[in-house]
Chains A and B, each alone.
Chain A
Amino acid sequence: MTNPTLFRLRIAYAKQGRGRFLSHLEVQRYLTRLVRRSGLPYAVSQGFNPQMRLATGPALSVAAAGKREYCDLTLMTYVKPMDALRCLNEVQTDYLPVLDAAYVGTKEPSLNAAICAQAICATIEDAFADISADVQPEELAQQLQAGLAALQARDTLEVELKDKTKVFDSAMHVPKDIDVVTKGSALQIGLTLRISPQGSLRPDALLAALFRAADLPAPDIGSVKLQRTALYLDDGEGGLRLPL
């Protein structure tokens, strides 16, 4: 049963700079230590091995940055969101700055259950290095759009992940459209992907499939900078809304 005297503070933070190389577990560990340092009156779980009641949103892969990520922290006493933000800001690192905080209802579904979509921006430095010098930026964009159409036309999309293959329903997981922008030698691709409890298509896996379908050489993973620019909740009316 929900304890009526507890408060659920939703915190928005960024994962940036060199911090993009942190794993989800490392971010979670950082957040619990951040909260303990901040002096906020956090609640701990019952049981033999009490743990801080802090729940993060969907995992962001190693090497991916996050413009606005979220976690829910349960507090034992009410603290003004601005005061909580100040406490957290005082003891944070540059890689994972806290951006915003606000209370949400304790009965609201968890972030992991409620978040249904993510917006991704992939920047590929020196994108034309492995592509024929004759290809113009506009042509590259067209090729990628054609690749997307090819992926959409399939029933399923198979993704190799370590030693196993995962199969995704194309209609559900392949984005309806992508934004392709070239800046000098860099290529920027914006897309929105669905997140579901049954599984989510990883942005890097989609990009690899997209380049393959577009008959383009896959970029070196070291030259791709992924950033999750937004996470969305279902607004209940067929649209999307921000968690905070």
Chain B
Amino acid sequence: MTDIEEGSNTLWSKIEPLLAHVERPSRYINGEYGVPHLPLSQSSQVQLNVGLCYPAAYELGQSNQALHVLYDQASRVEGVRVQRTFLPGEDMATLLKEQQLSLFTLEDCTAVNKLDVLGITLPFELCFPAVLEILDLSGLPVRAADRTADMPLVIVGGPAAYNPEPIAPFVDAVFLGEADGGALSDILIALRDLQASDTSPSRQMQMEALAQIPGVYVPCLFDSGVQAEPIMRRVAHDFHSADFTPACLMVPYAELIHDRLTVEVRRGCTRGCRFCQAGITYRPVRERSADSIVAAAVTGIERTGFDEVSLTSLSTTDYSLIEEVLQRLKRRFAGTGVSVSIPSLRVDNFSIDLVRILADRGTGASKKSSLTFAPEAGSQRLRDVINKGVTDQQLLDTVAYAFENGWTRVKLYFMIGLPTETDEDVTAIGDLVKQVLHTARENVNPSKRGSVQISVSVSTFVPKAHTPFQWEPQLLPEETLRRQKILQGAIPRKGIKLSWHDASGSFIEGLVARGGREIAPLIEEVWRSAQGAVAYVDNFDFDYWETAANNLNVNLESLINNRLDSQDSLPWSHLHAGVSTDWLLDEAAAARNEQFTPDCAFDTCSNCDVCDNLNVDIHLADDTVRAGARHD
């Protein structure tokens, strides 16, 4: 057999002629190594057809670690057939519309509207128009209320689902938390069993079944008072103990954005940066054992053939046995051309030993790639406000170590518009960057002094739900532009590559991040007026939003630039991320007082209540690290 068996529902014969007319047709052909193939003879045993969708192009979506984990877990549920679908390229989307073809799944090339369940990841707020585009391309009404029982249930989850109200009218259910600890299985089994007991369950029955599952928010049942608040986030209780080598490791043909094996070493980060939503929504810290990480990396490389493994987490250098793991992988992959990389680094724990291990070419994380650090603010005062417990000296020492050991490039992330920021704080970013450049040039091999490059990426602070800064106002675009101009003047031109986020893009991100149900018509209007073009982040155009806001009589600025009252109910108040509101308020007060809150993974408990509320505890791979910590 030279090709995939074609089932009766396949659209392949209609899609194939289109592939000669689109860019990167390998996005649409399926058949990657490791993708389980379902023989036609077994298709009758499928009771629930599930699509997992990432609302971006294949090369971004297929890179997503969660997609792999959830795909693997769903494929283990008996009677469930899981398939992938992504936002097609604009060229393919145009052809699908012209030919009146539905968006299709990769595995069976079936129309998405024939699935029973469509699960969509929400990686960031600006992807919401892409969700509407995906529903529309699938021939589905974008509003959940207009969809009928023979159409797939649309369930969303992921980082941007913690304030789902702006997208609530378009989805049937929202999952809050980590779906890999049994939650996904719970959802699929409930729907499968409902399907088995009644071949055509009503939409109401499906919703009610979902609302029984912890972590699942069903907006229409909440609105009608059937589902009670709060809906608590779920965690994967077995994260650190479970065997986590996936049964199906997919190896793409196409080059991905993150084209490597990923091994998640740690979940959660309790450093306590007060702007960081992930720091709240993934806590507490849970680490996998060094043995299981090394085994997963070695097995994964053997089974996939990738030439790089990335040890992922919110802060991998905080992993308590990071040096041991890197040393073991270095020995294991010596002479194979396989490299090991770490995506996120902290300046305060980037030790000399770690620099030396990473600098060794046998390990991988090769010198030719740049190191990335996120001081976030230029002044110590502002870093204290945001609880970024690093000093200028720590950053400069780290840069010195790195450049002494062969690196020639470093990337620094900063934010402007943080609460209490003054023009002096913005100028301080420039001062710090100058010192970094000077330190890099002083410590690099003199023959490479010319190739020293410091990249500075500056984003605009966007207050996010469930964080201590959730009540803070956000800069308006004009003020963002003014501060960007100050920064531009403060940063040396030579040797520095400066980039920043588009001011209006951050403005809209903030609008959606803290908006309520009233934002939904705006999103729909933007998507309709742009005829789907805004589904692609590269096509972001503020004019669409401004025009839609005028049409709908929405004052965008008042939604963004006002401080929210801590006594008021917020659009996400019925959703519980695990930490108490009192703790968030304490942290907001600590920010104003420039007080530092230590990391509870290594120091005393800060009483955020997440462990009690979610019945979970901190787990480090090296218990001795916490021996002296007090945990209330």
Specify whether A and B are partners.
Answer: yes
Are B304 and A221 interface neighbours, CB within 8 A? no
Are the CB atoms of B337 and A21 closer together than 8 Å? no
Minimal Cβ-Cβ distance residue in B for A25: B255
Q: Which residues of chain B have C-beta atoms less than 8 A from A117's C-beta?
A: none
Question: With A37-B302, A222-B20 known to touch, is A49 a contact of B253 (CB < 8 Å)?
Answer: no
B304 partner, pick from A33, A51, A93, A223, beta carbons under 8 A: A33
Contact present for A18 and B30 (CB under 8 Å): yes
Q: How far is the CA of A26 from the CA of B29 in the complex (A)?
A: 13
Q: Which residues of chain A (31-69) have a CB below 8 Å from chain B?
A: 32-37, 39, 44, 48-52, 62-63
Please report the C-alpha to C-alpha distance between residue A19 and residue B33 in the assembled complex, in whole angstroms: 12
A39 to B21, CA, bound (A): 38
Given contacts A33-B306, A37-B303, contact A93 B33 (CB under 8 A): yes
Does A94 interact with chain B (Cβ within 8 Å)?
A: yes
In the bound complex, CA of A94 to CA of B18 (Å): 22
On whether A34 and B305 interact (CB within 8 A), knowing A21-B19, A221-B20, the answer reads yes
Q: Give A97 Cβ to nearest chain B Cβ, in Å.
A: 8
Q: Give the interface segment out of B1-9, B181-189, B345-353, B472-480.
A: B1-9
For B2, what are the chain A residues with a Cβ–Cβ distance below 8 Å? 16-17, 94
Q: Which of B25, B253, B303, B361 contacts A30, CB < 8 Å?
A: B253
Q: Are A222 and B368 interface neighbours, CB within 8 A?
A: no
- Chain B residues closer than 8 Å to A162, beta-carbon distance: none
Q: List chain B residues, Cβ under 8 A from A32.
A: 305, 307
With contacts A26-B255, A44-B336, A49-B366 taken as known, whether A33 is within 8 angstroms of B33 at the C-beta atoms is: yes
B301 within 8 A of A: yes
* Contact A26 B305, CB 8 Å, known A44-B337, A48-B366, A94-B2: no
Contact B4 A26 (CB under 8 A): no
Inter-subunit contact B307/A36 (CB<8 Å): yes
Q: Are A19 and B31 within 8 A (Cβ)?
A: yes
Q: Give A224 to B17 CA distance when docked, in angstroms.
A: 9
The B interface is mostly helix, strand or loop, or mixed, namely: loop
- In the bound assembly, the distance between CA atoms of A223 and B30 in angstroms comes to 21
Whether A18 pairs with B33 at a CB distance below 8 angstroms is no
Residue of A33, A48, A92 with most partner-chain B CB within 10 A: A33
Give the chain A neighbours of B4 by CB distance below 8 A. Answer: 17-18, 94
Q: A21-B19, A26-B26 are in contact. Are A36 and B3 (CB under 8 A)?
A: no
A223 and chain B: residue at smallest CB distance: B17
State whether A94 touches B361 (Cβ < 8 A): no
Give A45's nearest chain B residue, CB to CB.
Answer: B337
Measured CB to CB, the closest approach of chain A to B107, in angstroms, equals: 12
CA distance A161 to B144 in the complex (A): 47
Closest to B27 in A: A21
Q: Which single member of A21, A36, A52, A223 contacts B29 (CB below 8 Å)?
A: A21
Binary interface encoding of chain A residues 84-98 relative to chain B, with 1 for a CB under 8 A from any of its CBs, else 0: 000000011111000
- Of B302, B303, B337, the most chain A CB neighbours within 10 A belong to B337
Considering the complex, give the chain A residue whose CB is closest to the CB of B251.
Answer: A33
Verify B3–A94 contact, CB threshold 8 A. yes
Chain B contacts with A in 260-281, Cβ cutoff 8 A: none
Most chain-A CB neighbours within 10 Å: which of B16, B18, B21, B253? B253
A196 at the interface (CB under 8 A from B): no
Q: Does A29 contact B (CB under 8 A)?
A: yes
- Between A and B, how many residue pairs show CB distances below 8 Å? 104
Q: CA of A33 to CA of B361 in the docked complex: distance in angstroms? A: 20
A21 and B26 CA atoms in complex are apart in Å by: 6
Asked if B33 contacts A44 (CB within 8 A), the reply is no
Give the docked Cα–Cα distance between A33 and B32 (Å).
Answer: 12
B528 beta carbon closer than 8 Å to chain A: no
- What is the CB-to-nearest-CB distance from B31 to chain A, in angstroms, rounded to a whole number? 5
How many angstroms between the C-alpha atoms of A52 and B24 in the bound complex? 25
Q: Does B626 contact A (CB under 8 A)?
A: no
Contacts of B32 in A (CB 8 A): 93
With an 8 A cutoff between CB atoms, is A23 at the interface?
yes
**B1 and chain A: residue at smallest CB distance:** A94
Residues of chain B from 262 to 317 with CB closer than 8 A to chain A in the complex: 301-307
Residue of B nearest to A96 (CB): B253
Any B CB within 8 A of the CB of A22: yes
* B255→A29 contact, CB < 8 A: yes
- Write the nearest CB–CB distance from B297 to chain A, whole angstroms: 14
B356 at the interface (CB under 8 A from A): no
The smallest beta-carbon distance between B338 and chain A, in angstroms, is 8
Q: Residue B367 at the A interface, CB < 8 A?
A: yes
Residue B254 CB within 8 A of the other chain = yes
Within 8 A of A (CB), among B1-58: 1-4, 16-21, 24-26, 28-33
State A94–B5 Cα separation when bound (angstroms). 11
Q: A26-B26, A222-B20 are in contact. Are A37 and B368 (CB under 8 A)?
A: no
B21 close to A222 (CB less than 8 A): yes
Known: A50-B337, A62-B25. A222 touches B366 (CB 8 A): no
Is the Cβ of B301 less than 8 Å from the Cβ of A48?
no
- Whether the Cβ atoms of B253 and A52 lie closer than 8 Å is no
Q: Does B628 contact A (CB under 8 A)?
A: no
Q: B335 within 8 Å of A by Cβ?
A: yes
A16 partner residues in chain B, CB cutoff 8 A:
2-3
Residues A18 and B337 in contact, CB atoms below 8 Å apart: no
Give every chain B residue within 8 A of A29 (Cβ-Cβ). 253, 255
* A30 CA / B20 CA spacing, docked (Å): 21
Partner of B17, one of A49, A62, A92, A222: A222
Please indicate the chain A residues that have their CB under 8 angstroms from the CB of B21 in the complex.
221-222
The CA-CA distance from A32 to B3 in the complex, in Å, is 22
Question: For A18, A21, A33, which residue has the most chain B Cβ atoms within 10 angstroms?
Answer: A18
CA–CA, A216 and B89, complex, Å: 33
Known: A30-B253, A33-B306, A221-B21. A91 touches B367 (CB 8 A): no
Residues in chain A near residue B18, CB distance under 8 A: 222
CB pair A39–B26 under 8 Å, yes or no, is no
The smallest beta-carbon distance between B62 and chain A, in angstroms, is 13
Instruction: From A23, A33, A49, A220, give the contact of B26 (CB < 8 A).
Output: A23
Residues in chain B near residue A18, CB distance under 8 A: 3-4, 16, 29-31
A22 to chain B, nearest CB (A): 5
If A17-B3, A30-B253 touch, whether A48 touches B31 (CB-CB below 8 Å) is no
Instruction: Give the chain A neighbours of B29 by CB distance below 8 A.
Output: 18-19, 21-22, 95
In the assembled complex, the CB of B170 is this many whole angstroms from the nearest CB of chain A, namely 33
The B-contacting residues of A in range 185-232, CB under 8 angstroms, are 220-224
19 contacts between A and B (CB under 8 A): A16-B3, A17-B3, A17-B4, A19-B29, A19-B31, A22-B26, A26-B253, A30-B253, A32-B307, A33-B306, A34-B305, A37-B305, A49-B366, A50-B361, A63-B20, A63-B25, A94-B2, A94-B4, A222-B16
Given contacts A17-B31, A30-B253, A222-B19, 18 further A-B contacts (CB under 8 A): A18-B3, A21-B29, A22-B26, A22-B253, A26-B26, A29-B253, A30-B33, A33-B307, A49-B361, A49-B368, A63-B19, A93-B32, A93-B33, A94-B4, A95-B29, A220-B17, A221-B20, A222-B17
Nearest 8 Cβ contacts at the A-B interface: A33-B305, A17-B3, A36-B305, A222-B17, A37-B305, A21-B25, A18-B29, A222-B20
